[in-house]
Amino acid sequence: MSTSATDGVVRVALLGCGTVGSQVVRLLREHGDDWTARSGAKLELVGIAVRDTATERDPWVPRELLTEDAEELVTRADVVVELIGGIEPARTLVLRALTSGATVVTGNKALLAAHGPELHAAAEAGDADLYYEAAVAGAIPVVYGLRESLAGDKITAVLGIVNGTTNYILDEMATRGLSFETALAQAQELGYAEADPTADVDGHDAAAKAAILASLAFHTRVSIEDVPVTGIRSITAEDMAEARDSGHVIKLLAVARRTVTDGTEGISVRVHPALLPAAHPLAAVHGAFNAVVVEAESAGRLMFYGQGAGGAPTASAVLSDVVAAASHKVHGGHAPRESTYAELPLHGPATTAARSQIKLRLADRPGTLAAVAGVFGEEGVSIDSVRQQRADDGVASITIVSDVATEAALDRTVARLAEEPSVHEVISVTRVEGA
């Protein structure tokens, strides 16, 4: 199909008609006239590729448009909306569409974070556009925000709650004292978490989004492989209660920062649970909501907040891309090209700055705290605060918050503490952000 719809009609093919795809069909049918007026293009849904045409669908899904032949459908479209998810066959279909000059709109963060360069190269080769607002934080226009609104600024940091399932779980643990297991079961009942919740609770979904956000913010290719990730399975109700007592909340954060080490600019990109002061704007993000804080040199701090998942909210992001794509098809112009000119190096643990809270159980006798402090001192990690929660049966629970140190120094400190004869157990190590 041609890259410009000279007859003013833009042929849209939908691949996948699940949670998001079905809502895209509904919105196209209900508001197609508006989208036509806004884009100047008549949007015509020419087909919906599904796995099984016999499956029962939402009542607004036109059965005559269903096909099981996605490959053939792609050849008939100006704009291909990929909402299948996963790597294959999504990757092959998207590559085929882009190479042939069709615009692709996708919500597939897993595909983008693993195969971004290949997709962008195919777009370049096909003189085609690739849109992916729905891939990060659902309805929240953070891809547009970074790619276009902030194109005239220098971004220094991006901190986000980009996974609704884990935020829901942590919020239920924090506000209602639930255990991780109970909160997860509740998230599954409500349909937030999948039956296999691995991608959410182990942080992989957030890591894919972190890679996409960091690529956009720092004009550097970042893949999911580059993002060290820690999920939320080990967080306990007790951790939550203690965080609250010290004026904090625990959130799963995607953190991408521009850093300078020995005069060299680089970036660090991480996903991990972190203690945030209760007054931090991200601490007020409850339930399954998402939020992304962007810090930029001139604009200062911005916060994007809203629904990061769900059929209709995510379809809103898809449709915004479809309207933009259709407008370009009719009036000319392109989406912004992938921008990777900065090619900033990724900092590893030896050069990434961090603060940690380390909880220990140690023998309650003279000199043990001094021995622990000695380990910090020898590793060059300064201590910000020490609290002793209780001492019984000759064992004390100690919470130490470090000052900023390198991740490597913090890791070495924790490894040595675990070997200290007076330390019974390193209970937990949690990052501290936003202080």
Ligand X SMILES: NC(=O)c1ccc[n+]([C@@H]2O[C@H](COP(=O)([O-])OP(=O)(O)OC[C@H]3O[C@@H](n4cnc5c(N)ncnc54)[C@H](O)[C@@H]3O)[C@@H](O)[C@H]2O)c1
> Residues in the site for ligand X, rule: CB under 6 A?
15-21, 49-51, 70, 83-85, 89, 107-109, 134, 138, 309-310, 314
Residue 116 interacting with ligand HSE (CB under 6 A): no
β-pair partners for 131: 105
Residue 242 interacting with Na ion (CB under 5 A): no
Q: Give the nearest distance from C-beta 53 to ligand X in angstroms.
A: 10
Pick left, alpha or beta for residue 262 (phi over 0 → left; psi -120 to 50 → alpha; otherwise beta).
left
Question: What's the CA gap between 434 and 193, in Å, rounded?
Answer: 28
- Strand 383-392, strand 395-402: pairing: antiparallel
Query: Which of 24, 362 has the CB closer to ligand HSE?
Result: 24
Half-sphere exposure for 168 (CA within 13 Å, toward CB): 24
Query: Which of 180, 192 has the CB closer to Na ion?
Result: 192
Quick one: which of 85, 164, 231, 313 contacts ligand HSE (CB under 6 A)?
Answer: 164
Q: Which does 165 bind (CB under 5 to 8 A by kind): Na ion, ligand X, ligand HSE, none?
A: ligand HSE
Sign of the Cα pseudo-torsion (268, 274, 279, 280, in order): positive
Quick one: which of 116, 141, 266, 308 contacts ligand HSE (CB under 6 A)?
Answer: 308
Q: Give the nearest distance from C-beta 414 to ligand HSE in angstroms.
A: 30
CB-based burial, 278-289: b 16+ in 10 Å, e otherwise? eebebbebeebb
Residue 158 interacting with Na ion (CB under 5 A): no
Q: Give the nearest distance from C-beta 96 to ligand HSE in angstroms.
A: 24
Half-sphere exposure for 173 (CA within 13 Å, toward CB): 30
Is 209 in the active site? yes
β-pair partners for 428: 359
Interface with ligand HSE by CB under 6 A: which range of 30-38, 118-126, 157-165, 334-342? 157-165
Half-sphere exposure for 323 (CA within 13 Å, toward CB): 19
Q: Give the nearest distance from C-beta 160 to ligand X in angstroms.
A: 14
The contacts of residue 41 (CB under 8 Å, 6+ apart) are 5, 8, 9, 10, 326, 327, 329, 330
- For 51, other C-beta atoms within 10 Å of its C-beta total 11
Q: Which does 49 bind (CB under 5 to 8 A by kind): Na ion, ligand HSE, ligand X, none?
A: ligand X
Q: Which does 84 bind (CB under 5 to 8 A by kind): Na ion, ligand HSE, ligand X, none?
A: ligand X
Query: Which of 126, 310 has the CB closer to ligand X?
Result: 310
Q: Which does 133 bind (CB under 5 to 8 A by kind): Na ion, ligand X, ligand HSE, none?
A: Na ion
Instruction: List the catalytic residue out of 42, 109, 209, 359.
Output: 209
Half-sphere exposure for 299 (CA within 13 Å, toward CB): 18
Q: Give the nearest distance from C-beta 107 to ligand X in angstroms.
A: 3
- Strand 395-402, strand 356-363: pairing: antiparallel
Residue with tokens 């991608």, as numbered in its chain = 199
Residue 205 interacting with ligand HSE (CB under 6 A): yes
- For 321, other C-beta atoms within 10 Å of its C-beta total 26
Query: Which of 110, 324 has the CB closer to ligand X?
Result: 110
Residue 402 interacting with ligand HSE (CB under 6 A): no
> Which residues from 115-144 bind Na ion, rule CB under 5 A?
133, 137, 140
β-pair partners for 293: 159, 303
Residue 317 interacting with Na ion (CB under 5 A): yes
Query: Looking at the annotation, which residues are catalytic?
Result: 209
Binding site for ligand HSE (CB under 6 A): 138, 163-165, 192, 200, 205, 308-309
Binding site for Na ion (CB under 5 A): 133, 137, 140, 317
